[in-house]
Structure formats: structure tokens, C-alpha cells
Structure 1
Amino acid sequence: MVFAPLPSSAAWRQHGARTGFEVAYFRDGERGLVVEGCATAVEDGQTWAIDYRLRIDSDWRTRSAQITGRYPGARHAITVQTDGLGRWQVDGVHAPELDGCLDVDLAASAFTNALPVHRLGLAVGDAADAPAVYVDATDLTVTRLNQHYRRLADTTAQRYDYRAPRFDFEATLEYDDSGLILDYPGLATRAD
């Protein structure tokens, strides 16, 4: 699967599970892609703002993520990083429960669902598991999230059946030619 170049930025309206907005900026780094973004939302009556900086290598494997969450009366920050082969550290401490993950999935971000789609390069009809380092937006808890992607026949957009069994969630995700989410049912819609 060959994707068109990324735009310099993208934005998403968050709806359904939360009400908010996300903006991400993309630039080439020394060894891949640097993504800087911010997402703000109200979710279950709680407000939060998440700032993130992701380093992604040329094979679309996440190498590091710096995440700062702001909440009423509190601010938290974490760093997750990997050797690129699926061995992770959270704030400098090895987290063996995350071993084997190649992607980060920020609950606050629609963008991070682009990472496995780019990395896997699935042909129509192909499927793959894509476990991810999952960072919860409400408290920056880091856990493993098992996910599954199956590429569907394209219509007006690239489409993937997506499953996250832990959340009992299944949806068809739509992506643009650059491999960025256009529609994530119940969560976000591309705004630009």
C-alpha cells in the first residue's frame, strides 16, 4: 500500500464518546516523522487537554511518545519509548506487558489509528493484529490494547474493519489517501 504524502497538519472533531477537538502537525525528522498535537475534550463530565509529541521511524513504528495531560487541578506527564522491536519503557522503566507492541494508541487522538495502517500496508482482504501501547486520556494510564485491522474494498475512501475486544468495539474506519482517519464512528470526524 502506497500512501500520498501527509499534509502539514490535520484536525478532527471529536463526538459521541466525548466532545472536543484535535489538531496534529507533521514534519520530517532525522530518522522518520515527528508528530506534535493537542486534543481537548469533555468526556463523562471531565475536562482534559492532552499535548503529545510522537517520533515515528521510517517504517512507521512508534519510537517514542511524550504526553502531557492537563486536568482540573492537576497536570501529569509520561514518556513511553521503545527500541523499535517491541520492547517498551514507561518513564524509563521496562514495561514487559507491552512487549511486542509497535504502535502507540492515544485515547485522545484520532491520528494514532493511522500508525498501524501505514506500518502494516495491508492489501484489500488482508488482516493483521496490531497490539498497541494504549494511553488513557483521563489519567494517562498505560496498558496494552489488542487491536485487529482488516482492509476492505475501497469505495470513496480506504476502509478497514477495526476491532478492540477489550472495549467490545467494532467499526469500519475510513482513511484518506494519506492514510489519515476521515471517520472514526462514535469518536471523530476529520475537520480539515
Structure 2
Amino acid sequence: MWVPWIGTGIEHLRLQQIDKGIYIDSVVVGSKHKQPFRVWYKIYCDSEWRVQTCLLHRYGPRSRELKFQVDSQGHWVDADNISLSALEGCIDVDISATPFTNTLPIRRLSLLPGQSTDILVTYISIPELEIVPVKKRYTCLETSDNGSLYHYENLTRGFATELHVDAQGLVLDYPEVWKRSWNEFF
């Protein structure tokens, strides 16, 4: 579980590594511009942490659902199998209301200290559910048995911070945005 540094909210995430891949099921409750939101999402990745499907559901007066599929080359289609050419080349998904989606490229890339990689991600803003490609950079600063430190940059928006992650690549601290409040592995 994560909680925001400021304001109210919580994310409760369940991550399962199964024989053929990784299954993520999470709910995020929070507010943006003093408007409450509740979003539930599921992501399924292959065993190399490449996103294969993503489902989001925003609850409330204007409920809405998004469903995508993506192949290993970054070809995205919606629930009706219609190509989403604007997202061409994106491998990962970044949901604005969660620190978890940083785990996807961190685990997929497996960077060593000093290594850096630029990637293109499908960015989904919450609660609006607007979808755009965003260029990001991850740089591994250090690793240990207990976790790692990454320099994270959103190159499209000109934002940068350092992310502390545990040994599984899950965010412990996203400065001034999210912090982990509880963790238990089953």
C-alpha cells in the first residue's frame, strides 16, 4: 500500500508472479484538484515484465473503462482491436495516480549502476483518463541487497526525481508524491 505525501488517498496493490507472467490488480482512491476519484486497474505482463494487457476503470458519476493490448514491439490496440497508432513504440504503461507503474520499466530494464535508458511509455492521466505517449529516462544510481536508487526523468514534461525501490523494484519513496505505508508478501 502507498499513501500520498500530501492530502488523502491510498493505493492497495496485489502483485502475483505466475508461471507465464506477472499479474497486477490494484485500486487507487484519492483526489485531484479537490475532486475525489476511485480507479481500479489490472495489468498483465509476460515473464520479462513487458505489458501485454491493461484495464482501467474509473468509478463515479462519469464512470469509464479503458482496455488495451500491446505486443512486444509496442503495437497498441483498444478493446475493439483498433490500432492506437499514437502509442506506437510504447512498451510500458504509466498511470499517473500510482507509483507502481515505475516498477514495470525498472524490472524490465534491469539496469546496473551507471546505466541509463530512454523509453517511450503510454501515459494515462487520472482521473481524466487522457492517454498520450511520454518519453522517460531511468538511470540506476546504486543497488544493494535491500533495493536500489534510480534517477527518474519525465523528458516530455521536464520533471525529475530520485526513486528508492525495494529488492523487488517496488517504490518505497517517490519524494513529495507517494510513500509506501505497508508491505507484505504472500
Whether TM exceeds 0.5 here: the answer is: yes
Structure 2 residues without counterparts, runs of 5 or longer: none
Structure 1 residues 96-135: aligned runs within 5 Å: 96-135=85-124
SS in 2 for 1:182: strand
Q: Does 1:171 find its partner at 2:164?
A: no
Residue type of the alignment partner of 1:181: V
Contact 2:134-2:154 within 8 A present in 1 as well: yes
SS in 1 for 2:112: coil
User: Which 4+ residue blocks in structure 1 deviate beyond 4 angstroms?
Assistant: none
For 1:157 and 1:20, the matched residues in 2 are separated by 25
Could you state the TM-score of these two structures normalised by the residue count of structure 1? 0.88
Structure 1 residues 51-130: aligned runs within 5 Å: 51-71=40-60, 73-91=61-79, 92-130=81-119
RMSD: 1.5
For 1:154 and 1:60, the matched residues in 2 are separated by 19
Give the % identical residues.
27
In the alignment of these two chains, the number of paired residues is: 180
SS in 1 for 2:63: strand
Contact 2:147-2:169 within 8 A present in 1 as well: no
SS in 1 for 2:9: strand
Equivalent position of 1:5 in the other structure: none
Residue type of the alignment partner of 1:50: V
Could you state the TM-score of these two structures normalised by the residue count of structure 2? 0.91
For 1:191 and 1:22, the matched residues in 2 are separated by 10
Contact 2:45-2:52 within 8 A present in 1 as well: yes
SS in 2 for 1:146: strand
Q: Which has the higher contact order (CA 8 A, sep 6+)?
A: 1
